Amino acid sequence: MGPSLAEEWLQVEEKIGYRPRLTGDVLDMREQYKALSGQGIASKVNKVSVENKYITPYLLIRLYTPTEKGTDLRPVGVYFHGGGFCCGDLDSEDGFCSILAERFCCIVASVNYRLAPEHKSPVQLEDAVEAWTWAYENAPILGGDRTKYFTIGQSAGGTLALATVNRLIALGRKSEAKGVAALVPFVIHPQNVPLSYADKYTSFHECADGPVNTASAMNIFFEAAETNPNDPDIFLIHSEHLDNFPPTYIAVCEADPLRDDGIILREVLKRAGIPVKLDHFKSLPHVFWAFDCPAPSGDFLGDVMSGISFIMGQ
């Protein structure tokens, strides 16, 4: 029996007439994901310019730049969408990226990384690092402040945000990333949970059949991408670089199979002395903000902005 669901979420289900949940095979879930994307945070903003740009023949990014004139260089967030490495595209979280650029007055580079099963892991991470490198090297053209670059993403995109920083540290490029913001990421494969955390890793089974995301969907995604349960580049709980991480913001949802991934990661980082901030959204499912469902604070985006301010201010 999973956690009870907030009344605000139950009202969402009543409004749309069903409980949203990813089911079927990868192709089925792609269509469902596309239909569900942007039901909540879909509003456009007027103070941001948007440009699509191929940085390689196969890698497209979308740049969001505040139009308000200023003399200062801006922070740059390299953004990765969710979808289990199998679903999603630049349009999935377009509204979120626009609002992030406007409210945080930063440049956002959203990455259209290649998807599984057509492209197996670690292609998604390779694309993520390639996009980061392009954005960092082109700071003068973008108007970006190289001392204020960060990664950010949701769900599998949150995993890529963490994994990109992990790879930068491994390459001796730790100084490039000021921080990382990971919203509901996965960092543990359910078949390879560290023994020291086995008693704390309960959400994958406890919330297996909850709204939106399910344990079954995650297992299908892992299989489609052929992720190795032992791979420390994807399942960051096994990384040897966590004690060198920059300041980190993590968001988790209580009624989410991935809840304990973020909670355990926060514990590991905190023990290593890394500045880390965690928002735990009680009684709410995976990416509840993608629907017309408010956070307990009444301002989910404000919560995220506070998290980004935390990592940038350390």
Q: Which of 241, 218, 86 lies closest to 169 in space, CA to CA?
A: 241
Burial of 68 (0-12, 13-18, 19+ CB in 10 A): exposed
Do residues 170 and 155 make contact, with C-beta atoms less than 8 angstroms apart?
A: no
Q: For the range 163-167, what are the long-range contacts, defined as Cβ-Cβ under 8 Å and sequence gap of 24 or more?
A: 163/125, 163/128, 163/233, 163/234, 163/236, 164/78, 164/80, 164/125, 164/128, 164/129, 164/132, 165/245, 165/246, 166/232, 166/233, 166/236, 166/239, 166/241, 166/242, 166/245, 167/125, 167/129, 167/233
Q: Provide the token pair at 296.
A: 């307990």
Show which residues are catalytic: 155, 256, 286
- What is the rounded distance in angstroms from the CA atom of residue 218 to the CA atom of residue 264? 18
